[in-house]
Structure formats: C-alpha cells, structure tokens
Amino acid sequence: MRSATGSLHEAMRQLAEWRTRGLTDLRMSINLSTSQFLDKTLPARVDALLARHGLAANLIDLEVTESVSMASPDETIEVMRALTQRGLTLSIDDFGTGYSSLAYLKLFPIRTLKIDRSFVKDIETDPSDADICDVTVLLAHKLGLEVVAEGVETEAQLKFLRSIGCEKIQGYLISRPLPGEQLEGLLRQPMQEWTKEWTSGGVELWHAS
C-alpha cells in the first residue's frame, strides 16, 4: 500500500488503524520529501513513530526520488544505512528522470526501483520508452532489486511490462487514488473482484492510496 501524503505520522497512523481492524497483511510505502529525507533527525523520528503506533519496521517502505538521492550520494548512503539497519526497506522513486551514477546506485541499500510514469505511458507506441523500461528492469534484476512500474493505465501496458519481467505495477489500472475509508472498503473485497484476470502470471499490484 502506497501513501502519497508525505506525512510519516499520518501514514503510520492509518496503517496501524487498518491493522487493528483486521487488515494485517498490509505494508505501507511512504514518499519522503526532500526536507524529510535530508533531516538529520529522520531515523530517530522513524523510531519514535514506529513505537508510538506499535508497528514493526518491516511493515514500512520509504521512497525517495532519484534526484534527491543523487544530490549528495555519500550522505544518502549514510542515511539509508541508518534506516535499513532498523529493518525498513527503501525504494528509489521516479527512476530514469534523474542522473544516477551506477557506481553509487549499486551501493545504495535499496530494495526497489520504480520506473517513472513518463516512460510507461507510451510504451505501446514509443519504442524508445519500451526499451528504457526493458533496460531498467534488466538493470534492477542484475543488481538484485525489485521493480515497480508507475502510471500503468491499460492492460496493454501491463502485458508488455509482464513480458519484460516487471514484478509490480502501480496506477489507475488498479484504481484511482482513494481516501482511506474507500480504500479500506476496496481492500475488504475478495481479491478477484477488483484485480481482474490480469493478476495472473505473478505480477503483484501496488495500490495508490
């Protein structure tokens, strides 16, 4: 489950609330703003919020954009290591829109690369975008990382992403962004009622909340 609120407190509060209501199989992915990621107190704040809401660290994935992560790579590695040592996982968001150095990318203790939606939206018609997605998936797998394709809106896009080995998708094909109460209702429906036949083949779905 992905939170786009930018609020660590609100995202963790919502996850804890859902867990008390029986939705115990969820993990929360939370976008970090530039100021949040560069805040020296971030690891300590994460510790405090996990304790406050009674959450295990492995339930949380933190997302930082490629441009932010490469602004000061050495500092980024230090912050990322402090977070992963606590048991959280990390993702690079909007991958392909910045200027990543592969020398640093392989040193980042991340689990997931997220392909920016700008490369996904035209993969049915633009061979260059299709090639970029293909190469990104190959690169991620060579580095032992998972891949999430953002902005997936059509079954044709999903079919192509599946063909190149992309494990996870995120976008309107699953659902448009929903407020917490509506999303909870969706999550309580049997999976087959809202994921259709295109969930077959081992593709996991990230739901944009």
Interval 37-94: pLDDT, tens: 888 899 999 999 999 999 999 999 999 988 888 878 888 899 999 999 999 999 999 8
Return the pLDDT at 207: 39
Lay out the sheet containing 60-65: strands in order across.
2-3, 28-31, 60-65, 89-95, 112-115, 146-149, 168-170, 204-206
- pLDDT of residue 200 exceeding 80, the answer is no
Which is higher by pLDDT, 29 or 99? Answer: 29
Return the pLDDT at 202: 38
CA dist., res. 186 & res. 71, Å (int): 38
The average confidence (pLDDT) of the chain is 85
**Pick from 133, 95, 86, 136: nearest CA to 114:** 95
Percent of the chain with pLDDT over 90: 57
Average the pLDDT over 4-28 and give the result.
85
In this prediction, residue 98 has a pLDDT band, given cuts at 50, 70 and 90, of low
Interval 154-168: pLDDT, tens: 999 999 999 999 989
- pLDDT of residue 99 exceeding 70, the answer is no
**What are the structure tokens assigned to 68, written together?**
């932010």
Average the pLDDT over 124-140 and give the result.
94
Number of C-beta neighbours around residue 85 at 10 A: 11
In this prediction, residue 34 has a pLDDT band, given cuts at 50, 70 and 90, of confident
**What are the structure tokens assigned to 155, written together?**
């079954």
Average the pLDDT over 99-120 and give the result.
86
Average the pLDDT over 156-185 and give the result.
89
